[in-house]
Structure 1
Amino acid sequence: MKLSNMEGKAVPQVTFRTRENNQWKDVSTKELFAGKTVVVFALPGAFTPTCSSSHLPRYNELAPVLRENGVDSILCISVNDAFVMEAWAKELAVENVRLIPDGNAEFTAGMGMLVDKADLGFGRRSWRYSMLVKDGVVEKMFIEPDKPGDPFEVSDADTMLRYINPNAQDPAFITLFTREGCPHCARAKAMLQERNLPYEEVHTGMGTGISSRTVRAVSGRSTVPQIFIGGKHIGGADDLAKYLAAH
């Protein structure tokens, strides 16, 4: 299998058929890349295991740090149709990455990354790779090695971030366990919002599938909110106030 390294060359000029607000929308390569610094990662297929568990979620997590380091947008390209890519974005709650359907494989073929996955029943799909594109020209490509299966060694978000800025710091991800109608939970969220700190909210209580036993198991406490920052248990709303005052 011969894969092309396009460093120093312009990306293919194609028009993608996308969906936006339940309507068809044509998006050109020029619109996506002209005058911008863009991180692109391509993968074999939406809803597939590595793509769903690691590749796309980590780019979504590191997107704010990539933007702080000069990246204007992050694109995920796959040889899938627009409906599949739209459903996948909703399934994974992707907010920071734009999913681009290369349904006819024109962009992937132009990149020299179209491979035969007929043995899996996939037909022709994209090889897994990532690249940094500046004003439509590829500066750097990370192409997965030519090995059997679906290698995932170099096209990950962390490798791209280290290339752009070796000293960039991982964001301290914030997770809150909350319950509907809890005033202390509302207070904790307000404190984070005032400081523009993004967070993930995990709802507990009836109908959520997460009980006070679960909260106790992970935090040692059964009350909410319980806040975790960067994997460290901070505590409740009062504990969060003290933490934020000290940082």
Structure 2
Amino acid sequence: MTRSYEGKGSPEHWGELSEQWQTCKEGMYQSPINISHPVSANLPPLDFNFHTNVKSIVNNGHTIQITVHDEDDFLLDGQIWNLKQFHFHSPSENHINGQRFPLELHFFHANSQGELAVLAVMLTPGKTNPALDILLDVLPTTVHQEQALQQDMMLEKRFPQDKHYYRFSGSLTTPPCTEGFICLVMKRPVEASHAQLARFARALRNANNRPLQPLHGRQITE
């Protein structure tokens, strides 16, 4: 049995499909969550160092994933976090004050010790986003066929101007659901047209959002 988002391989069964995936069922710090009642910690806005150098794109059967060179980074907890890859979930996995968004981008970063931080950006219906058109033009039509990218990705346009965020301790939202991740969710969404959002949904073919997970007393800061 392989994992999926529906049927016998759906998220509620992931912990039963493999001994290595028990955390999906037993973990206490699982993602995604509904972000509400955050505690004020005066978190400073993120200071990004943006580049545009991407390597490849692939539809891996679960999401559209773009791999990048280790250039884009930000400073957090006195450490530099380098972007490794980003991918898409439609509809969004995390909610903000009970609101679900049509699309969520996950940017995976790692520090020099190999620890991971996941940065999420929500997309909401609005104006056409030129940065997304560049990506839509190269969306894979074949599953598991990785292709090199030569285009500049304009990564800064995929982030809101307001760089404030929510922070909590979370996990991978796919098996093995590993915990111990720093999870950051940008407070403000980025706009994309209805047509752009629909094209992403069609490219993903099926919804690929894990259901919300219990907080288990976790604190969300802002």
TM-score tier, shorter chain, comes to under 0.3
TM-score normalised by L of structure 2: 0.25
Question: Based on CA coordinates, which of the two structures has the bigger radius of gyration?
Answer: 1
Larger RCO (CA under 8 A, 6+ residues apart): 2
Higher strand share: 2
Higher helix share: 1
TM-score normalised by L of structure 1: 0.23
